[in-house]
Amino acid sequence: MNAPLVDMPEAAARRVEPGRFITFEGGEGAGKSTQARLLAAHLEQAGIRAIVTREPGGSPRAEALRSALLAGKAADLGPFGEAVLFGAARIDHIDTLIRPALAGGAWVVCDRFADSTRAYQGAAGKAKPELIAMLERIVVGPMRPDLTILLDLDPEAGLARARARGGDAAVDRFEGEQLAFHVALRSAFLEIAAKEPARVRIVDAALAPDEIADRIWTIVRDAFPAVLKQGAA
Ligand code: T5A
């Protein structure tokens, strides 16, 4: 029998930082940035220091990689090559922003994280799932989110929102993919949620922003009852 290429069991150590790490995931225009901001405001009202960040990006080096990736400059590398660059951006983001913030007791609210690589480069992009899984273990290690909010929306509605917001600006690398790509993305995110129900909670993103924010706040309070007492804020 061949020895495994890497030996990193799922039971790898949990991280020890005191802050909480919450990610938002979903297709284009699902409302992740809007809800990340609203959640951070809610947390601050409840007396918790919250930092909003995003991927790709969140640190100067990762933002430079974001510009290249969203301009399509890495598309010729193929989906796994792109995944490696998203991973490089993620390593810098974790090392320079996420881990230090969590270590200082802040909560980090991140607009997209490793589930986006699974969905965009893995399921929809068709990079080999075992390579994507291996990359995630190397890049993310124990820095897995405590909670992920999946904003689920019909892809045509999400793309229409993104286009309406973007005006005449050119669509980016992934917005420009065929509808079938975005349909595959939605299925991939729902599959991740089905496999990891304790971490990933689905919220209907077709509702009004305030209603979505209320539902997310209920989920967050329920997820961290020792910190956020019922009825807080
Ligand atoms: N990517 C990313 C990968 O391929 N692999 C990876 O590993 C990672 C991390 C990032 C791209 O990179 C890809 C995925 C992406 O294609 P991006 O610009 O950050 O690029 O793309 P998105 O994350 O999709 O950001 P968007 O801004 O397009 O979408 P959001 O953040 O989901 O939506 P938001 O909040 O900006 O809202 C969009 C518009 O809709 C309105 C807002 O006002 C705004 O105009 N809106 C609503 N309208 C009606 N009802 C609601 N409930 C609404 N909520 C918001």
Domains (range + CATH), the chain: 23-223 (3.40.50.300)
Contact (Cβ atoms closer than 8 angstroms) between residue 143 and residue 15 = yes
For ligand 1, the distance from its centroid to the CA atom of residue 229, given in whole angstroms, is 30
Cis ω on the peptide bond leading into residue 56 (within 30° of 0)? yes
In ligand 1, the atom with minimum distance to the C-alpha of 28 is 24
The model's pLDDT over 71-85, given as tens digits with 9 standing for 90+, comes to: 999 999 999 999 999
Give the three-state DSSP class for 85. Answer: helix
The 50-54 sheet, strands edge to edge: 50-54, 107-111, 21-26, 147-152, 200-204
Contact (Cβ atoms closer than 8 angstroms) between residue 182 and residue 118 = no
Residue 116: pLDDT above 90? yes
Long-range contacts from 127-130, C-beta under 8 angstroms, 24+ separation: 127/78, 127/79, 127/80, 127/83, 128/80
Q: What is the mean pLDDT of residues 48-56?
A: 98
In ligand 1, the atom with minimum distance to the C-alpha of 209 is 52
Residue 200: pLDDT above 60? yes
Mutating to test ligand 1, I would choose from 23, 25, 34 the residue with most ligand atoms within 8 A of its C-beta, which is: 34
For ligand 1, the distance from its centroid to the CA atom of residue 226, given in whole angstroms, is 31
The count of other CB atoms within 10 Å of the CB of residue 78 is: 14
**Confidence class for position 13, pLDDT limits 50, 70, 90:** low
The count of other CB atoms within 10 Å of the CB of residue 123 is: 20
For ligand 1, the distance from its centroid to the CA atom of residue 27, given in whole angstroms, is 7
For ligand 1, the distance from its centroid to the CA atom of residue 12, given in whole angstroms, is 31
Phi, psi of 45 (to 5 degrees): -60, -30
